[in-house]
């Protein structure tokens, strides 16, 4: 347990999510990543819930400034609209009291809580089985807060109603952003001819997708078609730790391997059946997600259900934006994504993320993922500039 606690504390630091996280795991006894006065309160929370682990940390910048603003604007509940929030978090409760009673009341209903007290911000998340779950929730809260902060600002800028506090927070956060990656890594060259080669290529591409910050936590999926078999990352697997977590799924359905495969296997299958591509890479790059949620039609009757009911034809340059839910339901992205991505380098699913494709290996798919995210980042700030210069909604 001590190794796991240290592993996920370091992951939080390496991902730029927290500078000095406090992580614990319960085995024969509670193991903490370091000593801290907060442990007195946090152990009461462990005792009050049937859980295995906790993460408590002040988020690193720019997330600290983001949550300082969001807790001021939404003092009780932060409700982002992205897919990860809808699927995993639902919403993020806020409390001004760093007490076991206040925190327990909220964590018993949700996977996280933001504590805005003592002139600081703490994000607290938990895991029922391992510290990995607490890490994933912490990462997802940071991702969703980032998306909400920028999406709110663009919407308010369109409507010419940003506040002074919002403008100051926005300027500070933008100044704190890391510069974008410009050069993709050199990955193994394909096409690949064996299962071993395919798995090595998938593992490598998944690790770089996380290293380049093109995912939320480790979410996303990746696949490669070799003959009539799709090799795909397992559902819930870490893209940076895919060894042993890749399922071979025959396209004729002759195996039950798909049971543990990514929930988006059907979408991958449809893409392969209708295109000549053999590689698919799916990540959650932040600005692609933010722009997918931007729409100037504030009176649209489908507002609030955009992720499944958007009927507008929308795109960012050559990249279409489509609605679609995770899974295989009537509104599933398995129905909306495959036709949108035909003859294109990628497509964005509303509030969810970016899918890119390639003909031989993951070099081209990764390059598309990086280039499209950089294009979306540039377009975001271009839209802000147009809003400011026009003082009204741009087309």
- Do 158 and 203 have their domain in common? no
Confidence of residue 226 (pLDDT cuts 50, 70, 90): very high
Q: What is the tens place of the pLDDT at every residue in 170-207?
A: 999 999 999 999 999 999 998 999 999 999 999 999 99
Describe the strand order of the beta sheet including 92-95 as a list of residue ranges: 30-32, 22-26, 53-57, 120-127, 112-117, 92-95, 77-78
Q: What is the pLDDT of residue 197?
A: 97
Confidence of residue 305 (pLDDT cuts 50, 70, 90): low
Domain boundary among 142, 176, 210: 176
Region 18-24: mean pLDDT is: 96
- Do 255 and 283 have their domain in common? yes
Of 118-122, 292-296, 330-334, 339-343, which gets the smallest average pLDDT? 330-334
243: its two tokens: 């060894």
Q: What is the pLDDT of residue 313?
A: 84
Q: Is 6 helix (H, G, I), strand (E, B) or coil?
A: helix
- Do 134 and 239 have their domain in common? no
Q: What is the tens place of the pLDDT at every residue in 28-72?
A: 899 999 999 999 999 999 999 989 999 999 999 999 999 999 999
- Do 131 and 248 have their domain in common? no
Region 71-99: mean pLDDT is: 86
Q: Is residue 185 part of a domain?
A: no
Closest CA to 316 of 283, 282, 340, 281: 340
- Do 171 and 222 have their domain in common? no
CB 170 within 8 A of CB 68: no
Crossing angle (nearest 10°) for helices 100-107 and 39-48: 40
249: its two tokens: 């799924």
- Do 84 and 219 have their domain in common? no
Cβ atoms within 10 Å, residue 206: 28
Q: What is the tens place of the pLDDT at every residue in 241-255?
A: 999 999 999 998 777
Using a 10 angstrom Cβ sphere, with 0-12 exposed, 13-18 middle and 19 or more buried, the burial of residue 235 is middle
* Measured distance CA(45)–CA(66) in Å, rounded: 26
- Do 29 and 159 have their domain in common? yes
Q: What is the pLDDT of residue 258?
A: 66
Q: Is residue 66 part of a domain?
A: yes
Closest CA to 223 of 200, 197, 246: 246
* Measured distance CA(385)–CA(395) in Å, rounded: 13
- Do 234 and 355 have their domain in common? yes
Residue with more model confidence, 43 or 216: 43
Q: Is residue 102 part of a domain?
A: yes
Domain boundary among 176, 203, 228: 176
- Residue 335 neighbours by CB under 8 Å, 6+ apart: 324
The tally of domains found in the chain comes to 2
Q: What is the pLDDT of residue 218?
A: 66
- Residue 47 neighbours by CB under 8 Å, 6+ apart: none
* Measured distance CA(117)–CA(29) in Å, rounded: 29
* Measured distance CA(233)–CA(257) in Å, rounded: 11
Q: Percent of the chain having pLDDT more than 70?
A: 94
* Measured distance CA(160)–CA(16) in Å, rounded: 32
Q: What is the pLDDT of residue 256?
A: 63
Q: Which domain holds residue 149?
A: 2-176
- Do 236 and 362 have their domain in common? yes
Region 301-314: mean pLDDT is: 73
> End-to-end alpha-carbon separation of the chain, Å?
54
- Residue 221 neighbours by CB under 8 Å, 6+ apart: 232, 233, 239, 262, 264, 268, 280, 282
- Do 64 and 139 have their domain in common? yes
> In terms of DSSP bridges, do strands 92-95 and 112-117 run parallel, antiparallel, or are they unpaired?
parallel
Cβ atoms within 10 Å, residue 193: 10
Q: Is residue 182 part of a domain?
A: no
Q: What is the pLDDT of residue 393?
A: 45
Q: Is residue 32 part of a domain?
A: yes
Mean pLDDT of the chain: 91
Q: Is residue 228 part of a domain?
A: yes
CB 127 within 8 A of CB 51: yes
* Measured distance CA(236)–CA(263) in Å, rounded: 9
Domain boundary among 176, 211, 235: 176
Q: Percent of the chain having pLDDT more than 90?
A: 75
List, in sequence order, the alpha helices (H) in the chain: 2-14, 39-48, 63-73, 83-84, 100-107, 131-158, 164-176, 195-211, 265-274, 286-292, 306-309, 333-341, 362-390
Q: What is the tens place of the pLDDT at every residue in 103-153?
A: 999 999 999 999 999 789 999 999 988 999 999 999 999 999 999 999 999
294: its two tokens: 């931007």
Q: Give the distance between the most distant pair of CA atoms in the chain.
A: 63
Confidence of residue 326 (pLDDT cuts 50, 70, 90): confident
CATH code: domain of residue 88: 3.40.225.10
237: its two tokens: 């697997």
- Do 248 and 365 have their domain in common? yes
Q: How far is CA 237 from the centre of its chain?
A: 14
Q: Is residue 188 part of a domain?
A: no
- Do 162 and 256 have their domain in common? no
Q: Is residue 342 part of a domain?
A: yes
């Amino acid at each position: 347990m001590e190794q796991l606690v240290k592993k996920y504390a370091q992951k939080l630091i390496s991902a730029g999510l927290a500078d000095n996280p406090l992580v614990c795991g319960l085995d024969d006894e509670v193991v903490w990543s370091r000593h801290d006065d907060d442990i007195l309160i946090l152990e009461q929370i462990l005792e009050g819930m049937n859980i295995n682990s906790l993460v408590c940390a002040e988020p690193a910048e720019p997330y600290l400034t983001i949550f300082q603003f969001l807790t001021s604007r939404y003092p009780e509940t932060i409700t982002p609209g992205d897919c990860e929030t809808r699927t995993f978090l639902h919403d993020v409760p806020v409390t001004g009291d760093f007490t076991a009673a206040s925190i327990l009341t909220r964590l018993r209903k949700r996977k996280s809580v933001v504590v805005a007290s003592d002139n600081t911000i703490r994000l607290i998340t938990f895991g029922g089985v391992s510290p990995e779950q607490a890490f994933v929730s912490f990462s997802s809260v940071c991702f969703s807060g980032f998306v909400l902060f920028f999406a709110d600002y663009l919407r308010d800028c369109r409507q010419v109603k940003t506040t002074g506090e919002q403008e100051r927070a926005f300027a500070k956060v933008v100044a704190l952003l890391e510069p974008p990656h410009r050069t993709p890594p050199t990955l193994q060259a394909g096409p690949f001819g064996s299962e071993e080669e395919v798995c090595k290529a998938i593992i490598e591409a998944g690790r770089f997708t996380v290293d380049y910050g093109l995912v939320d936590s480790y979410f996303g999926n990746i696949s490669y078609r070799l003959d009539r078999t799709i090799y795909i990352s397992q559902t819930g697997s870490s893209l940076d730790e895919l060894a042993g977590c890749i399922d071979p799924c025959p396209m004729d359905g002759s195996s039950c391997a798909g049971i543990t495969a990514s929930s988006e296997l059907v979408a991958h299958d449809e893409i392969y059946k209708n295109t000549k591509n053999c590689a698919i890479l799916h990540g959650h790059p932040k600005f692609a997600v933010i722009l997918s949620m931007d729409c100037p039609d504030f009176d649209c009757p489908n507002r609030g259900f955009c992720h499944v009911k958007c009927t507008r034809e929308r795109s960012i340059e050559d990249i279409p934006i489509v609605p679609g839910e995770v899974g295989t339901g009537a509104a599933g992205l398995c129905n909306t994504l495959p036709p949108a991505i035909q003859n294109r380098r990628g497509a964005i699913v509303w509030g969810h993320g970016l899918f890119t494709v390639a003909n031989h290996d993951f070099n081209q798919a990764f390059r598309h993922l990086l280039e499209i995210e950089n294009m979306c980042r540039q377009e975001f700030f271009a839209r802000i500039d147009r809003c400011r210069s026009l003082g009204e909604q741009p087309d």
